[in-house]
Amino acid sequence: MDKLRAEKRVNELRDLLHRANVAYYQQAAPFISDRDFDMALAELAQLEDEHDLSDPDSPTRRVGGMPSGAFPAVEHPIPMLSLDNTYNDDELKAFDRRVSDILGHNDYTYAAELKFDGASVRLRYEEATLTLGATRGDGNNGDDITANIRTIRDIPLSLKTNSMEVLEVRGEAYMEKEAFIRLNEHREAEGLQPFANPRNSTAGSLKMQDPREVARRPIRFFAFDLLTETPVAGRTHREKLEALRLMGFPVCQFTRFCTSIDDVLIVIREWESMRRELPYDTDGVVIKVNEEKFHDELGTTSKFPRWAIAFKFEAEQAVTTLESVTLQVGRLGKITPVAELKPVLLAGTTVKRASLHNEDEIIRKDIRAGDTVIIEKAGEIIPQVVSVVNRENKERGLPFKMPSSCPACGEVLIRLEDEADWRCINPQCPPQIRERIKHFASRDAMDIDGLGEAIIDLLIEENLISNYADLYLLEKEQLIPLERMAEKSAENLIRSIEMSKMRTLDRILFGLGIRFVGKTVSKDLAASFNSIDELMEANEESLTCISSIGPKIAQSVVVHFNKKENRELIQRLKDAGLSFESAKTVTVSQKLSGMKIVITGTLPAMTRNEAREMIEKHGGSVTSSVSKQTDFLLAGDSPGSKYDKAVKLGVEILDENRFRERIGI
């Protein structure tokens, strides 16, 4: 591209990205998808770089349009008090007695709500429009994080009410357990330290400097209180929750209204037993006097309101003895220290081992063999050692020290400067070979039934396999003579291996065991490339255009496919008959065959990705900018400059309905 054309394109992209930022942050009406935004931003950065067109005002310099630096402090006009905690029934009954003593009657009821393990936030609405979002801070002063709050989709930017009054809404930002696990998977893929629990990751996410990053974090919100300037006489908490719901706030369905503290206790028992099945973490129940008129009468202590209390559930922790620390070698050579424990019951299962993460963690917590330790299980995460109970214990072993060589193969261990883990870099290290094959055969990868750890060990021992491609050369006759392998099981194993040839590209990619490429990243890669050949030719720049792929993942993918031995393995898998084509290229009709289509604006009934998929399924392709070669523009609400350009060039414009008619759906 010559400089003049590059300049023109740079201006186009800057204009688009500026408008996209304004639409996203100020008008809350995004007109392009995150993916399109990221692609445009990447293209702009590349052009600026190649043609020396940098500009301090470019969107590449001001991601999200937000200034960096600390957040401004904001004072809470009504303090955000924390709640008094109780852990047992007697204390809760004592709370109830205090309430009735102060009021001098029993003419009140209770609201019981689940307590969320997240971060409390305060929202301010003026003329039904969100004007402020703040953290709790110390209860009197918090951080003004409005720009970040605006990215949380559960929080309405304007209320479904015509109230002109100033309203304050309080609630909890939280993360669902599954979303949290996915987030950590991505963090590990980026070489970042995973978050300890959903609460930490929520609080950390809310305080990030770049709202675009916050927008990618799966933060949810439940509203639990409404404060109005003019008090409403005789109002109850129940009515406030109903009002919040009508304004468009998510309100947790687990809210009950009870006439006595005994009824509250029944609700607590019920929720305590179902808490593990909930999609989010809860650490207790909040009990509030339902009638607002009694709140003033009850008042507050210096720290807590007297009209509310939190009943905390028993933590999912257990105490046991750490017998020894062993080292595990992962499939990528990572050395993980593991605590071998005296078996103990925790959250319904017997736990014998717990993760100790890495050397630094063990030293920081000063964990040694012989210690009495507290272990904890949070959500679906594997148990971990939280702390040492008794350091005065005379039976304590010596402080932990990482050996200098691999416990399995003797190779000298290395630790890169920006990493917490030690690694064995010998590709022939036996546990690594075994773990790679195990990973390839695992349920989320090739799902080879009957190929368990013991069989893999046996096959390696007998020199029948030394990598996953060797699996496809196995014959029944080689298996039958093996120990514990009858004719029937040999037949079954060969059939399972045969069946695995039908797995889709994303699962094969996951199975290859590329560093940083987990389940979700594999799906994203498979969805973005038509075949493994395309992926193998991709460079780091084009990989980072995919919104979930950062530079670390991109580099790792490129490095993996550049290695001769890896290319050979893939060729051998291809020869065995595995399909390395992406499933998304399956076309259902040729109605849009060869057509170049551009999408703009918000479509009423489908996302842009769905529209893209639909177009590809019918033989068409989606391009990013309108030109004379464009066959038609699919336009939704608030279309951008593409619309004007299509009009100017006389390109046909279809809305969603006419587009559906065209492809017959």
Going by C-beta distance under 8 Å and a sequence separation of 6 or more, which residues neighbour residue 5? Answer: none
Nearer to Zn ion, 330 or 619 (CB): 330
Q: Which stretch binds Zn ion (CB under 5 A): 36-44, 337-345, 399-407, 454-462?
A: 399-407
Minimum distance, C-beta of residue 358 to Zn ion, in the bound complex (Å):
17
The tokens 């392709």 sit on which residue? Answer: 621
Minimum distance, C-beta of residue 448 to Zn ion, in the bound complex (Å):
25
Q: Which stretch binds Zn ion (CB under 5 A): 205-213, 235-243, 419-427, 543-551?
A: 419-427
**Helix H or strand E encompassing 632:** strand 632-635
| One of 42, 375, 424, 598 touching Zn ion (CB under 5 A) | 424
Q: Which stretch binds Zn ion (CB under 5 A): 154-162, 179-187, 396-404, 407-415?
A: 407-415
Burial of 493 (0-12, 13-18, 19+ CB in 10 A): buried
- Per-residue binder mask for Zn ion (CB under 5 A), 358-397, x = binder: ----------------------------------------
Minimum distance, C-beta of residue 462 to Zn ion, in the bound complex (Å):
21
- Name the region of 339 (left: φ>0; alpha: ψ -120 to 50; beta: rest): beta
Separation between Cα atoms, residue 69 and residue 200, nearest integer Å? 21
Q: Are 55 and 629 in contact (CB under 8 A)?
A: no
Tokens at residue 358, please? 């890495």
- 517 lies in the binding site for Zn ion (CB under 5 A): no
Nearer to Zn ion, 409 or 536 (CB): 409
* Strand spans (E) along 214-346: 219-228, 255-258, 282-289, 308-312, 317-329, 334-346
339, β-bridge pairs: 325, 354
Nearer to Zn ion, 399 or 403 (CB): 403
What is the pairing mode between strands 317-329 and 372-376?
A: antiparallel
Q: Which stretch binds Zn ion (CB under 5 A): 252-260, 302-310, 416-424, 460-468?
A: 416-424
Minimum distance, C-beta of residue 429 to Zn ion, in the bound complex (Å):
3
Minimum distance, C-beta of residue 406 to Zn ion, in the bound complex (Å):
3
Burial of 610 (0-12, 13-18, 19+ CB in 10 A): exposed
Nearer to Zn ion, 424 or 441 (CB): 424
- 20 lies in the binding site for Zn ion (CB under 5 A): no
Nearer to Zn ion, 355 or 426 (CB): 426
- 332 lies in the binding site for Zn ion (CB under 5 A): no
Catalytic residues, which ones? Answer: 115
One-letter amino acid at 339 equals A
Residues comprising the chain, all counted:
665
Nearer to Zn ion, 200 or 328 (CB): 328
Going by C-beta distance under 8 Å and a sequence separation of 6 or more, which residues neighbour residue 168? Answer: 78, 122, 123, 124, 125, 226, 227, 228
3-state DSSP call for residue 418?
A: coil
| One of 408, 469, 545, 573 touching Zn ion (CB under 5 A) | 408
* Strand spans (E) along 80-238: 85-86, 110-116, 119-126, 129-135, 141-143, 167-175, 219-228
Q: Which stretch binds Zn ion (CB under 5 A): 42-50, 76-84, 402-410, 468-476?
A: 402-410
Of 69-88, binders to Zn ion (CB under 5 A) are none
Q: Which stretch binds Zn ion (CB under 5 A): 166-174, 192-200, 409-417, 609-617?
A: 409-417
CA-wise closest residue to 195 among 217, 211, 173: 217
Nearer to Zn ion, 333 or 601 (CB): 333
One-letter amino acid at 425 equals I
Minimum distance, C-beta of residue 416 to Zn ion, in the bound complex (Å):
16
- 409 lies in the binding site for Zn ion (CB under 5 A): yes
Q: Are 145 and 69 in contact (CB under 8 A)?
A: no
CA-CA distances (angstroms) from residue 6 to 10, 46, 629, 640, 641? 6, 10, 20, 21, 18
- 406 lies in the binding site for Zn ion (CB under 5 A): yes
Residue count, binding to Zn ion (CB under 5 A): 7
| One of 145, 429, 493, 633 touching Zn ion (CB under 5 A) | 429
Minimum distance, C-beta of residue 533 to Zn ion, in the bound complex (Å):
33
Minimum distance, C-beta of residue 411 to Zn ion, in the bound complex (Å):
5
Of 124-153, binders to Zn ion (CB under 5 A) are none
Minimum distance, C-beta of residue 430 to Zn ion, in the bound complex (Å):
8
Tokens at residue 186, please? 């991505």
Nearer to Zn ion, 424 or 570 (CB): 424
How many Å is the Cα radius of gyration of the chain? 29
Nearer to Zn ion, 16 or 433 (CB): 433
Question: Binding residues for Zn ion, per CB under 5 A?
Answer: 406, 408-409, 411, 424, 426, 429
